Structure 1
Amino acid sequence: MTGSLSLAPDERRVGFLVGAAVGAALAARTAGATDAPAVRAALADGVVPLAPPAGRRRAAVALADGLLEELLGGGVDLQRLSHRWVAWWREDGLDADAGLVEALAHLASFDAPLGEQGRSTAAALAATLPAALAVGSPRTMVAGTFHTARLLDPTPEGGLMAVAVVLAAGNFLQGRRDFIADVLGMLRANEAAEALFGRVQAIARDPRRAPPPPRAGQADAIEVGCWALWHAHHRPRAIEVLEAMATTGGISPDAGAVLGGLLGARDGIATWPAAWIEGTGEDAVLRQAAALRAGG
């Protein structure tokens, strides 16, 4: 695995938060493209981000920023956080998939999360990414991530996958590359289903067989999480990975945010094309400022 092991903590935090926004915007460029001609048309000007319309914010960024503001404010209040999310959904709702809409509608109506009968959504992974900034308090980070994710994804497996992604990001933020042992230990300690444990365990075993690309509107949190973790573990060239994501097409901004955040935390974003950062628009500027505040 290549990539700098000597990045400053601020560089990793900036890479993590800005990388997630860039990943979401790159995926958004071709998220609606379902065949090769549509992908080519969407990329007529090259692999560049698709910034959100003026005054709007994508789910992957807006939801995570709600959690980020809670963390920077000194502590996470889940009820207050859920109100932030519901307010964004009512006023904007850009890129909210069916599972996210179902979860937020239930929160709006009952001020409580769905029961386990609700559907899984990758939005829970994108929304909980900033929890990795609390890596210095691992027990709090793990428990907080799980309960926060369950506001949006009521399945236990979805909650544990959110924790797995956050643990991986936390390792990267501390300059450690190998996250698999920590993730498997967490899954075993929390009595994860054997199917979930086996899928994560397989990530390290098979460096040549990438999981299938998670299709927007179809992939659940486990599919998105395993796909992103596999690439973060095995693929050393972040720019090539993100370009391949965009040229594949049909991958949601939520999945792009998870992948971009992991790669940015791992390697920083100093070598990423300037057009990617600039093309992400205000989200990149706000995330950079938040990363510096987090290191305050």
Structure 2
Amino acid sequence: MSVTENVIITAALTGAGDTVGRSPHVPVTPEQIAASAVEAAGAGAAVVHIHVRDPETGAPSRDRTLYREVLERIKETGTDVVINLTAGMGGDLVLDADQPLEKGALDGTDLVGGLDRLPHVEDLLPDICTLDCGSLNFGDQLYISTTEMLRKGARRIQELGVKPELEIFDTGQLWFAKQLLEEGLLDQPTLFQLCMGIPWGAPADPGVLQSMVNFLPPNAQWASFALGRMQMPWVAQSILLGGNVRVGLEDNLYLSRGVKATNGQLVERAVQITESLGATVASPDEARARLGLKPRTA
């Protein structure tokens, strides 16, 4: 695997984590999320990965009207950027450890079927949407995405003509994503996001990343990220192994110790690392060509 020569930078703007109270820079309202997307694109991100939040509480949301407003606000600015919408919301299951069946799903559960995670994708037809490729212990709760949920979701995304970004949190999920490809539920070129350091998925370990890269299907496009202080080292790790990169406030709040970052500042730092390794930063059009996306429309 050779060093990436032209690096696609994705900015993950806000995520669904409990980060709003930990940094004033985490965007919450559609206006803030759109402004952060424009800032990230101006700093060098070819792709923006978008979640939405309840504007009043900051809690994660699946409200399709919020997604629509974000995209409309980005479009109004004339900003050229590839749109990547999460489709992972709706997989959270919280159980009592001692009496899981008796007490059932507890507060914090947001669990729906695979197709019910896609209405905003069906409405807005973004360039890319995510497909979280399996169930796992996600911190202290469960994230549920069964094989049949994934098959149904992948089939519907394929029908819509949207590119799925296959979110891989552990090696078994990569194995199953390759099964989806074998079953004809994914189109070439496939797009993988290797997600490292999420408790309790794949650890942010260079050897683990190398093994996952070795297990990717031929001709796959891929990126990886790691949480917290490992975010910027992982930019270099990904590029040196032939991949693209993701940074942003979804995964890390700091530019340096004690210094809270904006999305634009994190992208600027990723650009600096990319160029210091002798690579160039991909434009949105270059990203579209590499990922097999449709050309930009006015």
TM-score range, shorter chain: 0.3 to 0.5
Greater share of helix? 1
Query: Which entry has the higher C-alpha Rg, 1 or 2?
Result: 2
Greater share of strand? 2
TM-score, length-scaled by structure 2: 0.34
Higher relative contact order (CA 8 A, sep 6+): 1
